[in-house]
A = this chain, B = another copy of it.
Amino acid sequence: MRVGIIGLGLMGGSLGLSLKHIKFVSKVCGFDHNLSHCEEALKLGLVDDIVSFSEIKKCDMIFLAIPVEAIIDVLQNLIDIPKETTIVDLGSTKEKIIDSAPKDIRKNFIPAHPMTGTEKFGPSAAIEDLYHDSVVVLCNMDKSGDNHKNRAIQVFSHIGMKIVFMDAKEHDKHASFISHLPHALSYALANSVMGEEEPKSILLLAGGGFKDMSRIAKSSPLMWTDIFKQNRKNILSSIELFENELGKCKKIIEEEDWEELENWMGNATTLHKIL
């Protein structure tokens, strides 16, 4: 089986590295509109070959590892693929992408969201075990053809992923909490510190807690703006829920109700019993 990867950054590049170990994958072809990404991906051995967009279309399986708005655009240009070709997107939002998938290739299409990543981007950010042991959410699979479904499940499980099936609406709601809201908070925390008079003397004191909380504020603004655009409503409501929760904390501190503060913190620690 020949696999094509469109987008050779962190996600696509790491996928290339993982696919190399799968026996039923004979070749991994790459495409990226950024030529220096293509050169870098080839040099780093992320893919076997760099091919044109029309060549990528001839692969048995095509992964879209590009920003979510670009996924929608590219899907429109894949309308003429053979009915045996499987298309998998790796976008962080699912409903808008699924809605945009042309009817003619909806059966070919597997909407997927691997719950993994780092704050880094570009081909040099690719790492071999990015997908290993992480969850991949597959959405609205009842509209995908069985052969395509099986092929995607086979590949994801062979690169060590744990498969979860979910409705796209539910996915987008959950993802706003588990991934998109944390990014908004991390960016807001970074901006709060950067807005102070002497960010350098504040950051001198940064320990592990702050470093963890601000790590994902390094993520690509371009990529995340697209995600916020596509999952706007869910993100707005998760921000509101968070604001209520932080408001509770603030009110308790204002009222100096320390017993209640300990309860509020105690409730938060229960998260780790199920995480």
A interface residues (Cβ-Cβ under 8 A, vs B): 115-118, 134-135, 137, 164, 170-171, 174-175, 177-179, 181-196, 199-219, 221-222, 224-225, 228-229, 232, 235-236, 238-243, 245-250, 253-254, 256, 258, 261-272, 274-275
Q: Do B269 and A217 have beta carbons less than 8 Å apart?
A: yes
Q: Do B189 and A265 have beta carbons less than 8 Å apart?
A: no
CA distance A206 to B192 in the complex (A): 25
Q: Do A224 and B265 have beta carbons less than 8 Å apart?
A: yes
26 pairs across A/B with beta carbons < 8 Å? A115-B207, A137-B205, A174-B204, A177-B192, A178-B202, A178-B203, A182-B210, A185-B246, A186-B268, A190-B271, A191-B245, A191-B264, A191-B267, A192-B241, A209-B216, A211-B275, A217-B268, A225-B258, A225-B262, A228-B258, A228-B261, A229-B256, A232-B256, A239-B250, A239-B253, A240-B250
Q: Which of B188, B203, B208 contacts A242 (CB 8 A)?
A: B188
Q: Which of B192, B212, B216 contacts A245 (CB 8 A)?
A: B192
Contacts of A228 in B (CB 8 A): 253, 258, 261
CA distance A248 to B216 in the complex (A): 19
Q: How far is the CB of A116 from chain B (nearest CB, A)?
A: 5
Q: Do B254 and A221 have beta carbons less than 8 Å apart?
A: no
A sample of 14 more A-B contacts (CB under 8 A), given A177-B193, A221-B266, A232-B256, is A115-B206, A115-B207, A116-B207, A118-B208, A164-B204, A178-B203, A178-B205, A185-B246, A203-B271, A203-B274, A213-B213, A217-B271, A222-B262, A240-B250
Q: Do B274 and A184 have beta carbons less than 8 Å apart?
A: no
Given A205-B179, A239-B249, A245-B192, the answer on whether A229 and B258 have CB atoms closer than 8 Å is yes
Q: Do B190 and A269 have beta carbons less than 8 Å apart?
A: yes
Most buried by B among A240, A246, A247: A246
Given A178-B206, A203-B178, A241-B195, the answer on whether A187 and B217 have CB atoms closer than 8 Å is no
